[in-house]
Amino acid sequence: MSAGQDTSVAEQQPSNGGPLIDIEHLKVFFPIKQGFIIDREVARVHAVNDVTLSISEGETVGLVGESGCGKTTMSRAIMRLIDATEGHLRFRGDDITRAGRKQLEPLRRQMQMVFQDPFASLNPRKRVVQIIGQPLHLHGTPRDKVEDRVRELLRLVGLAPEHLNRYPHEFSGGQRQRIGVARALALEPRLIVLDEPVSALDVSVQAQIINLLDDLQEEFGLTYMFVAHDLSVVRHVSDRIAVMYLGKLMEVSPSEELYTKPVHPYTFALLSAIPIPDPRENRERERIVVSGEPPNPINPPSGCVFHPRCPRATDICKEIEPPLTRYPSGHVAACHHPLNVSAEEIKGAVKDPASPLTAGDELPSPSEASSSAPSA
């Protein structure tokens, strides 16, 4: 996906339409309380820590990161299932950060969610027609029309329409996830947030669900936010991919470029950690294994949050939080010592307005340019 090159992440617009959802400096902190009778807040988990991102109509944004990086919290905040601590959330330009139940009601039909575990997210005591029909009832579809619509939806997701009186336990994992997708589609939403939609499924079935999501997007012009921990899964559906680590955005890139030219050392580490299913190439490949584990989000490290595990970290990384730097190719990364960028690209780089408010102004110096850069 080629995007406007001099616009910020927040304004970036792909070919087919304006931003559907704008996330501006979003922060979600969870308080940790302690005390007897009077609860005092003793600390905060910095789950999402100043993230700015926008998703355009018809686009698919993949959000990737290790467990505990805040990706699920962010997807729930976008759905307004969790309230933001700070920052703004706009849906088609309307600020919905603090919108109440009444205001949200018409919006709910436009944004739907597919959950990770198809065994836990369908009520085991309801029939398929009730599960998929529920959102239709709630939003005022006449009773006699519901069943026809459910049949149509089942057909759309590749299930037999006769199955509408079955219970969830009569289906396999992949089929249940199809029911979850049908429920999300019922109200013809604009945005579907998919939280790890395939990670609970058998590998041979994962591809089928991803191909289905692809087809539905084409047919209905849907916008997807695809949350996953698996870089090889997101690649197939995403136009852009955002990499998150410890509540912050590390890198945002057009999807193919992320795999051929990762700029942030964290992205490179993630890619090189995936073993390639080809013994010969796997033996020859140069890999870096990052040591340690993600630090505790209660007390994130100073400067760049990745510096304690980063093989390229220097003193500046401990002190100054790197801004999101926009390179002329449209690639955005928050790193003082980027990989895979030429001297010209560094010269043309600018600080992106999507940078966290606490970030420094210093952009990578041209001496960081790499002529023969490593790639994953």
Binding mask 279-308 for another protein (x = CB under 8 A): xxxxxxxxx-xxx-x---------------
Smallest separation, CB 164 to another protein (Å)? 20
Q: Which of 3, 10, 187, 273 binds another protein (CB under 8 A)?
A: 273
Query: Which of the 8 DSSP states describes residue 296?
Result: P
The alpha-helical segments, DSSP class H, found in the chain are 71-78, 101-108, 128-138, 143-156, 173-185, 203-220, 231-234, 255-260, 265-273, 279-284, 315-319, 343-347
Which CB, 106 or 292, lies closer to another protein?
292
Tell how strand 325-326 and strand 332-333 pair up: antiparallel
Tell me: does residue 278 bind another protein (CB under 8 A).
yes
The alpha-helical segments, DSSP class H, found in 9-95 are 71-78
Which CB, 173 or 348, lies closer to another protein?
173
Give the C-alpha distances (Å, rounded to integers) separating 323 from 24, 173, 309, 318.
15, 42, 19, 14
| Triad 363, 366, 368: Cα angle to 5° | 90
Which CB, 144 or 162, lies closer to another protein?
162
Number of CB atoms found within 10 A of residue 101's CB: 8
Taking alpha carbons only, the member of 16, 30, 80, 90 closest to residue 54 is: 90
Which CB, 196 or 352, lies closer to another protein?
196
Which CB, 38 or 203, lies closer to another protein?
203
**Cα separation of 299 and 42, whole Å?**
12
Site residues for another protein, window 313-332 (CB under 8 A)?
none
Backbone angles phi, psi at 104, to 5 degrees: -75, -25
Which CB, 100 or 277, lies closer to another protein?
277
Q: Please work out the total of residues on this chain that contact another protein, with binding judged by CB under 8 A.
A: 50
Site residues for another protein, window 168-197 (CB under 8 A)?
172, 174
Tell me: does residue 208 bind another protein (CB under 8 A).
yes
SS (H, E, C) 229-267: CCHHHHCCCCCEEEEEECCEEEEEEEHHHHHHCCCCHHH
Q: Which of 11, 66, 117, 368 binds another protein (CB under 8 A)?
A: 66
Q: Which of 276, 316, 350, 369 binds another protein (CB under 8 A)?
A: 276
Tell me: does residue 275 bind another protein (CB under 8 A).
yes
- Where b means 16+ CB within 10 Å and e means fewer, 84-98 reads bbebebbbeeeebbe
Smallest separation, CB 280 to another protein (Å)? 7
Smallest separation, CB 214 to another protein (Å)? 7
Tell me: does residue 117 bind another protein (CB under 8 A).
no
Burial class (CB in 10 A: 0-12, 13-18, 19+), 25: middle
Site residues for another protein, window 232-271 (CB under 8 A)?
232-233, 235-236, 256, 259-260, 269-271
Which CB, 197 or 356, lies closer to another protein?
197
Which CB, 260 or 358, lies closer to another protein?
260
Question: Contact positions toward another protein, by CB under 8 A?
Answer: 66-67, 172, 174, 202-208, 210-211, 214, 229-233, 235-236, 256, 259-260, 269-287, 289-291, 293, 374-376
